[in-house]
Amino acid sequence: MRVKNRIGLGLALLAGIACGPKDLINKTKYGGKKYVNTCETFKKEVQATLDANNDPATLRISEYDNSQFDPTFVEPGQFLQANDTLYFRLANDLEYAKYLQKGVAIIVRVDYTTPAHLANMEKDPQGTVGELIITESYYKANSQPFFIYKIPLGGRKLDGKQVSLYFSVVKLDKKGKVVKVYCDSRNKPFGPADPPCCTSQPWARVHTGIKAALPDLPIRDEQYRYEGFEGTLDLIFPIMSTKFNKKELTDAILQYVAKYEQMGYLVQSIKIEGYASPDGRLELNQKLSQGRMEAVVEDLKEHFVKKMGRDIPMEGIGRGEDWQRFDILVKTADFTDEERGQILQIAAQPIHEDDREKQLRKLPYWPKIREKVLPFCRHALVTFTFTYQPDKMYVERYNAALPLLAPELYNIATKTFIISRFRPGVNARQNLSILNTLIDTRGNHTANLLAMRSTYHFALSDLKSAVRDIEAAAALDKNNPTYSLAALAYRTQGIQELSREEAMQMLERYNDLIARTPNDRSLYINRAIVMDYVGWLSGAIADNTKVISEEGRLAIAYNNRGVSLMKAMRLLEAEADFLQAVSIDPNLAEAHFNLGLLYAYKGYPDKAAQSLERAFTLQPAFRSELNANPVFRVVRDHPRFGKFSTGG
């Protein structure tokens, strides 16, 4: 079995030696060799054990699936609290069989202490867990397949504590009573004076998926519209004429243009395109199209400039013969397939327009063309461009022109869109793009919109932008204290960027806030994140437990408590919390990621791959952790993880 986890648990393996005059413990045979055991040899072996177990810089995990083993299986260097017992194995452990013989035993005492920066936060900052007397018979009975230390906890939880081991070599009488101490490490401890914390420090380089809770921000939904649209009016002219039914244009302006302007969509510009039908000479038809355009422009100016005093920009052009409309009308008019094919073939020829017309006139159904097609090619197309004016709550223009009189255009003019704060399941990047347009492009710098956008930055892990927006919102609405709480929550999410001193200051702020507002569950969830970061795992677990017990099924509280339990090596409880989190919120990427982390840590490649695949789908940024996180060092090379490394 390969090493599953080697976690520098800061074992202050203390072995100062108070030896007898001759320094001799005993003489033994072990492994076919003879040994003369002295305090000096014992001291060297304890020092080697210290060196092997006091390196918090790296985590080592199994290359194999350990799922066939009992859940309480403990790997070298791993401490586990379960069934009110502290189980642990040591990497490069003492060779007990060299020392143990009838009457000789090694006593291991386990002490605990709280790191100095957390000492004033714990009710039980230091003490002794207990002792284990390892005799020759005990060792033989408990050394297969490997030796596990088992120390009753007596109800204690060692979360966030530093663990120190003291080794003593003693002589026992027939009743098991200590009658002589050969070497007692308690008198002269050696090893690091300030060992790293057995639960938090080894995880310093491991990025877990925590999720800060936002306060109940008073963000109201916002409405926005299309920036504008284009409405067209097609005016038909008699043959060889530049006169049209002015009432048709006037009625359209009074009934439709006026209606849209009352909704706030004002006409910003008008484009007039005059056309002629493809009968007659091209030169004459060009003049007709120009004249038709000018006639419409004159009437529009009469209405908008003279009557309303509005100098609306107008662009006019005579486009000549309308062969494009000719094609459309031929395709939809009552022709046989043979007739339609012949007409379209002539119209598509790359020859002069007058020559095309001559060929069309020779067709036996030319009168049918003049009746069903040509009258509708003698027209002027008026395009009104509308833009919303009451405010700047719009994003984009409707991208297709519609007839001014069409019900569809009315639907466009009256359509409103709703945008809300971030909620699971929404398209975060799409909504963020909309908010960027509303705020940055349109200039809607309101506290509500800025606070709303901050929730999307937070969801997309852009904490710097989230803090920027919420602080801008706070500057605009100084009477809203929740904005400053949200800024604190955003910074808590990015706690990995803080120093321990900064984190302790943040912890003090949360303590003060909770004292003033003890019913705000977001404060407890976020304080737990800070506690976890500084190593106070028992406090973090307690805060999340409080939220869970009082608020019911809250996914992020289960997830965050699972992180602290995992760091405390309470792996079964951590797994249960992560599974509970994803059952409550299947889209909580952090919980799926943490399950993948836990399964990789325990050496379950199949389960790890399954959970990570879901996490990467929900939060692609987690994919980078496969190379950055030391927990994945071995399993990332496993065949099951190939699709992640190749971007599959």
Q: Which of 444, 462, 491 is the last residue of a domain?
A: 491
Number of CB atoms found within 10 A of residue 344's CB:
14
pLDDT of residue 228: 97
The 8 Å CB, 24+ separation contacts for 112-115 are 112/156, 112/158, 112/161, 112/162, 112/163, 112/164, 113/161, 113/162, 113/164, 114/160, 114/161, 114/162, 115/160, 115/162, 115/197, 115/535
Helix, strand, coil in percent for the chain, rounding step 5: 45, 15, 35
The answer to whether residue 298 scores a pLDDT higher than 60 is: yes
Percent of the chain at pLDDT above 70? 88
Let me know if residue 188 belongs to a domain. yes
Q: Give SS3 for 457.
A: helix
CA-CA distances (angstroms) from residue 642 to 586, 589, 597? 25, 21, 17
Q: What pLDDT digit, counting tens, does each position of 392-431 carry?
A: 999 999 999 999 999 999 999 999 999 999 988 899 999 9
Worst-scoring range by mean pLDDT, 349-353, 530-534, 639-643?
Answer: 639-643
Length of the chain: 648
Q: What is the mean pLDDT of residues 625-633?
A: 81
pLDDT of residue 340: 95
Let me know if residue 12 belongs to a domain. no
Q: Are residues 49 and 141 in the same domain?
A: yes
Band of pLDDT at residue 68, cut at 50, 70 and 90: very low
The answer to whether residue 344 scores a pLDDT higher than 50 is: yes
d(CA 241, CA 185): 116
Q: Are residues 46 and 175 in the same domain?
A: yes
Q: At what angle do helices 447-459 and 482-493 cross, to 10 degrees?
A: 20
pLDDT of residue 13: 38
Band of pLDDT at residue 385, cut at 50, 70 and 90: very high
DSSP state of 94: -
The answer to whether residue 140 scores a pLDDT higher than 80 is: yes
Let me know if residue 3 belongs to a domain. no
Q: Are residues 69 and 168 in the same domain?
A: yes
Q: What pLDDT digit, counting tens, does each position of 355-380 carry?
A: 999 999 999 999 999 999 999 999 99
Let me know if residue 19 belongs to a domain. no
d(CA 502, CA 492): 11
Band of pLDDT at residue 100, cut at 50, 70 and 90: very high
Q: Are residues 487 and 540 in the same domain?
A: no
Q: Which of 172, 188, 203 is the last residue of a domain?
A: 203
The answer to whether residue 305 scores a pLDDT higher than 50 is: yes
- 8 Å CB contact between 421 and 470: no
d(CA 557, CA 586): 14
Q: Are residues 505 and 524 in the same domain?
A: yes
Six-digit token string for 100: 């143990």
Band of pLDDT at residue 110, cut at 50, 70 and 90: confident
The answer to whether residue 600 scores a pLDDT higher than 90 is: no
pLDDT of residue 72: 55
Q: Are residues 166 and 305 in the same domain?
A: no
The answer to whether residue 11 scores a pLDDT higher than 50 is: no
pLDDT of residue 644: 75
d(CA 507, CA 524): 11
Q: What is the DSSP string of 101-146?
A: -TTEEEEEEEEEE--GGGGGG-SS-EEEEEEEEE-HHHHHHH-SS-
Pairing of strands 314-321, 265-276: parallel
| Higher-scoring residue by pLDDT: 605, 530 | 530
Let me know if residue 5 belongs to a domain. no
Let me know if residue 373 belongs to a domain. yes
- 8 Å CB contact between 208 and 529: no
Q: What are phi and psi of 164, to 5 degrees?
A: -120, 140
Band of pLDDT at residue 434, cut at 50, 70 and 90: very high
d(CA 530, CA 153): 27
The answer to whether residue 240 scores a pLDDT higher than 80 is: yes
Q: Are residues 487 and 398 in the same domain?
A: no
Q: What's 549's domain CATH number?
A: 1.25.40.10
The answer to whether residue 648 scores a pLDDT higher than 50 is: no
Diameter of the chain measured on Cα atoms: 133
Q: What is the mean pLDDT of residues 76-81?
A: 70
Q: Are residues 249 and 362 in the same domain?
A: yes
3-state SS track over 559-628: HHHHHHHHHCCCHHHHHHHHHHHHHHCCCCHHHHHHHHHHHHHHCCHHHHHHHHHHHHHHCHHHHHHHHH
List the alpha helices (DSSP H) in 274-427: 282-301, 323-332, 337-347, 353-361, 366-372, 407-414
Q: In b/e form, how buried is each residue of 158-187, taking b as 16+ CB within 10 angstroms? A: bbbbbbbbbbbbbebeeeeeeeebbbbbbe
Worst-scoring range by mean pLDDT, 186-190, 393-397, 613-617?
Answer: 186-190
Q: Are residues 168 and 280 in the same domain?
A: no
pLDDT of residue 607: 87
Number of CB atoms found within 10 A of residue 512's CB:
10
Question: Which residues have C-beta within 8 Å of that of residue 146, sequence separation ≥ 6?
Answer: 89
Q: Are residues 170 and 43 in the same domain?
A: yes
From 108, 109, 106, select the one nearest 170 (Cα to Cα): 106
Let me know if residue 8 belongs to a domain. no
Domain that residue 392 falls in: 226-414
Let me know if residue 254 belongs to a domain. yes
The count of structural domains within the chain is 4
The answer to whether residue 572 scores a pLDDT higher than 90 is: no
Q: What are phi and psi of 476, to 5 degrees?
A: -85, -25
The answer to whether residue 141 scores a pLDDT higher than 70 is: yes
CB-count burial class (<10 Å; 0-12, 13-18, 19+) for 23: middle
In the predicted model, what is the mean pLDDT of the chain? 86
Q: Give SS3 for 213.
A: coil
The answer to whether residue 63 scores a pLDDT higher than 80 is: no
Q: Are residues 326 and 451 in the same domain?
A: no
Q: Are residues 252 and 305 in the same domain?
A: yes
Q: Which of 449, 476, 491 is the last residue of a domain?
A: 491
DSSP state of 631: G
Percent of the chain at pLDDT above 90? 58
Q: What's 261's domain CATH number?
A: 3.30.1330.60
Q: What is the mean pLDDT of residues 57-83?
A: 55
